[in-house]
Amino acid sequence: MTAIWHPFTQHQLEPAFKKIVRTEGAYLFDQDGRSVLDAISSWWVITHEHRHPRITRAIHDAVEQLDQLIFAEYSHEAAEALARGLIDLASPGLAHVFFSDSGSTSVEVALKMALGMFHNRGTPRSRIVVMEHSYHGDTIGTMSIGARGVFNSAYEPLLFDVASISFPVAGREQQTLDELEAFCRRGEVAAFIVEPLVLGAGGMKMYPPHLLTEFRRITAQYGTLLIADEVMTGWGRTGTLLACEQAGISPDILCLSKGITGGALPLAVTLCTPEIFDAHLSDDRGRMFFHSSSYTANPIACAAAVANLEVWREEPVMSRIAAIEAMHREWLAKFRFDPRFTGLRQQGTIAALDLATGTNGYLSEVGPRLRTFFRERDLLIRPLGNVIYLMPPYCVGERDLRRAYEAIDEAADLIGLPA
């Protein structure tokens, strides 16, 4: 038996894990020589393809020159080039880049930036507003601002209190906007944090861009910072490089990770406005931004991210994304009036549908059964309970995606409620 404790795994119920020995394109190759279609981009991180040649080459070249160095004392060219590139592609107004090493830490940094700004100004605000069903990470801080439930019930004594607004269900969008405005009007809210357009781990819940535009209007009106958590939605997943583009907004703070290196290496950034940076700028050393991690701005990861920016500039990434969008639309249309499925939805390269079962939610017993079904067919599809979703790398072809949808069709017959 392995000594490894795997994430989000109940080892009492799971079979022994197969070892992956090679990755290429949209595929994982296991120890038995089987090829597995990575239909969820290995937990949403692989964008272009596994082992993209340009990114792999950049990693190799970087290893020949540098390994980790202390970023509190020195800088390096890969970090400087990446910061410049990120500012160029980000929303107008974002001017400073803070490095960390995961989506969770990028959000932790965002929260500390927000609270630190108001504290250093002498007008402290401590309230954070979040959206129902949100997920922002697994550290204590990010669990605190995520949906409460089985994910974090054991750690409740450690979590801080936040204000929550309703998810904007179709037909009741104004209720969500009114709730946000009511909280912000009190003048105590430091920041509203939101996953733009798609709530990922909360069930691939989607809402239209005009609501994001309204979120920006309300927060700006009351001096509340808007934090856009684009850890999952960034790097083309929603059909544009950043989801915020579709709403025509600029957040005060932007969190990026996952696809920043094309998925090759762990890296994260938190971008902010000059207003936030300047609130920490002082002759008083006690007002500096107190955050770091040992691997801040790892040179090898930064080199991979710089190569990823080159891929976006020089390859037809958006046309690949458009092709996936078209394939999703075609297949979802075939299920539109199928009673085995509900809630068919799509945003960019993300497609989701709910299997009609007697139980919903992350711990629905249908989830492990579906995973086993897909695994036996050499498909990496990891449903969120009864929510089946696809989020493939951008190199995926029509034949591969057809295989995934045909398996979903078959699974509904064998596992869902009778038609």
Please give the residue range of the domain that contains residue 282: 55-314
Q: How far, CA to CA in Å, does 204 sit from each of 21, 197, 361, 387?
A: 30, 10, 12, 8
Per-residue pLDDT, averaged over 248-273, amounts to: 98
Q: Tell me: the pLDDT tens digits for 209-246?
A: 999 999 999 999 999 999 999 999 999 999 999 999 99
Cβ within 8 Å of residue 153, ≥6 positions away: none
334 and 256 both lie in a single domain: no
Per-residue pLDDT, averaged over 306-316, amounts to: 98
Tell me the three-class secondary structure of 365-386, residue by residue. CHHHHHHHHHHHCCEECCCECC
* pLDDT given for residue 16 in this prediction: 87
* pLDDT given for residue 238 in this prediction: 98
360 and 225 both lie in a single domain: no
Q: Tell me: the pLDDT tens digits for 39-89?
A: 999 999 999 999 999 999 999 999 999 999 999 999 999 999 999 999 999
75 and 202 both lie in a single domain: yes
Asked whether 16 and 2 are in contact (CB, 8 A), the reply is: yes
φ, ψ at 353 (rounded to 5°)? -155, 150
Q: Which helix (H) or strand (E) holds 87?
A: helix 77-89
Residue 391: name the closest of 325, 295, 301, 297 by CA: 325
* Conformation bin of residue 325: beta by default, left when phi > 0, alpha when psi is -120 to 50: alpha
Q: Tell me: the pLDDT tens digits for 319-364?
A: 999 999 999 999 999 999 999 999 999 999 999 999 998 777 777 7
The CATH number of whichever domain residue 385 belongs to comes to 3.90.1150.10
Q: Give me the number of domains the chain comprises.
A: 2
Please tell me what DSSP assigns to residue 264.
Answer: S
Per-residue pLDDT, averaged over 394-411, amounts to: 97
- The amino acid at residue 254 is L
Strands 253-256 and 225-229: parallel
* pLDDT given for residue 417 in this prediction: 60
Rounded to 5°, the CA angle 166-235-22 comes to: 115
The token duo for 284 is 């008083």
The last residue of a domain, from among 292, 314, 336 = 314
Q: Tell me: the pLDDT tens digits for 270-297?
A: 999 999 999 999 999 999 999 998 999 9
Please tell me what DSSP assigns to residue 252.
Answer: S
pLDDT greater than 90 at residue 207: yes
- Could you tell me how many helices (H) and strands (E) the chain has, helices first? 13, 16
* Percent over 90 (pLDDT), the chain: 90
| 271 within some domain | yes
Asked whether 302 and 76 are in contact (CB, 8 A), the reply is: yes
| 399 within some domain | yes
234 and 260 both lie in a single domain: yes
Kindly tell me the sign of the dihedral angle through the C-alpha atoms of 415, 148, 201, 203. positive
- Residue 415: band (very low, low, confident or very high) from pLDDT cuts 50, 70, 90: confident
110 and 235 both lie in a single domain: yes
361 and 284 both lie in a single domain: no
DSSP for 194-252, please give it: E-SSEETTTTSEE--HHHHHHHHHHHHHTTPEEEEE-TTTTTTTTSSSSTHHHHT---S
The token duo for 186 is 């009190």
* pLDDT given for residue 419 in this prediction: 45
358 and 215 both lie in a single domain: no
The last residue of a domain, from among 261, 280, 314 = 314
3-state secondary structure of 250: coil
| 387 within some domain | yes
| 266 within some domain | yes
**Other CB atoms closer than 10 Å to residue 97's CB: what's the count?**
22
- Residue 418: band (very low, low, confident or very high) from pLDDT cuts 50, 70, 90: low
| 7 within some domain | no
CA 18 to centroid of chain Cα atoms = 26
* Percent over 70 (pLDDT), the chain: 99
Considering the chain, what is the average pLDDT of its residues? 95
Per-residue pLDDT, averaged over 252-258, amounts to: 98
- Residue 416: band (very low, low, confident or very high) from pLDDT cuts 50, 70, 90: low
Length of the chain (residues) = 419
309 and 362 both lie in a single domain: no
| 223 within some domain | yes
* pLDDT given for residue 372 in this prediction: 94
Q: CA–CA separation, 99 vs 267, rounded Å?
A: 8
366 and 284 both lie in a single domain: no
Q: What is the pTM of this model?
A: 0.96
213 and 294 both lie in a single domain: yes
Per-residue pLDDT, averaged over 183-196, amounts to: 97
310 and 326 both lie in a single domain: no
Per-residue pLDDT, averaged over 158-179, amounts to: 96
pLDDT greater than 60 at residue 35: yes
